[in-house]
Amino acid sequence: MSENGQPVLEFRGVNTHYGPVHVLKDVDIEIHAGEIVCLLGGNASGKTTTLKTILGMVTPTSGDIVLDGEIVSGAPTSRIVSAGVSMVPENRRLFKRMTVKENLEIGAYLRDPNDDLDADYERIYELFPRVKERLDQKAGTLSGGEQQMVAVGRALMARPKVLLMDEPSMGLAPVLVQQNFDIIETINEAGTTVFVVEQNAKMALSIADRGYVLMTGRIVLADTAEGLLANPEMRTAYLGEVED
């Protein structure tokens, strides 16, 4: 994808702290329109903090988050979401007791009430015809795969410039993981920029354009997906391959 022009979302030397603990250390990330970018890393490497920082749930102590040319770090979550970021949380976390339709409505919570949302619903039904069949069903009664579709649909209702995905493979059966990544590819082909945070490096790199590797809060590797897949260090540390 295009490396030129202004990134949609950019981390510029971001540092964050939880109290005295230094979590993110001088993190630089660039995400360009139309890309799938993945952030890889093990437990406690700072992946979730990265997402929370984008959404304004954690404020960086230094450095800037730039969304579409505008510095958004320090702004409240609601402003950042309406500026064009939305998230599919880890484990989907739908509002299980609400209907599918109500879940989608919450996704559009910050949209201008005068906006015509019908087009957005139609787009989601087109991507996921099964969602349409289940509109009046409680989200908690859906199968895992359908829930994932609703979670993605809910995030898309905000019409994001960048869609954040938190650990789409977490705690799922292999078939479902594959299904999830198929969903990501589908929505990316439909024009959404995606930022995936993932432990399962092999899976993530199979669909991503570029990837970053985060280790104890520092970006240690940044390359195209092919480059990372070929990197010997990656192969042993993250892709679980034994050196031959």
Q: By the criterion CB under 8 A, which residues form the site for another protein?
A: 55, 57, 76-78, 80-82, 86-87, 89, 93, 95-98, 102, 105-107, 109-110, 113, 138, 140, 143-145, 154, 158, 171-173, 175-176, 179
Kindly report each contact of residues 130-133 with a partner whose C-beta sits within 8 Å and lies 24 or more positions away, as own/partner.
131/100
Q: 69-78: long-range contacts at Cβ-Cβ below 8 A with a sequence spacing of 24 or more?
A: 69/6, 73/14, 78/110
Minimum CB distance to another protein smaller for 111 or for 218: 111
Work out how close the CB of 95 gets to another protein at its nearest, in angstroms, rounded to a whole number. Answer: 5
Beta bridge partners of 14: 27
For the bound state, the minimum distance from the C-beta of residue 38 to another protein, rounded and expressed in Å, comes to: 20
Shortest Å distance, C-beta 196 to another protein: 16
Looking at beta carbons only, is 136 or 244 nearer to another protein?
136
CB nearer to another protein: pick between 32 and 134: 134
* Among 193, 120, 185, 127, CA closest to 163: 193
- Distance, CA of 232 to CA of 64 (rounded, Å): 32
Identity at 233, one-letter amino acid code: E
Distance of CA 92 to the CA centre of its chain: 12
Q: For 156, list phi and psi in degrees, rounded to 5.
A: -70, -25
- Cβ 134 to another protein, closest distance in Å? 12
If the CB atoms of residues 198 and 209 are measured against another protein, the closer one turns out to be 198
Q: How far is the CB of 131 from another protein (least distance, A)?
A: 14
Which two structure tokens, joined as six digits, stand for 72? Answer: 């958004």
Residue 1 vs 173, nearer CB to another protein: 173
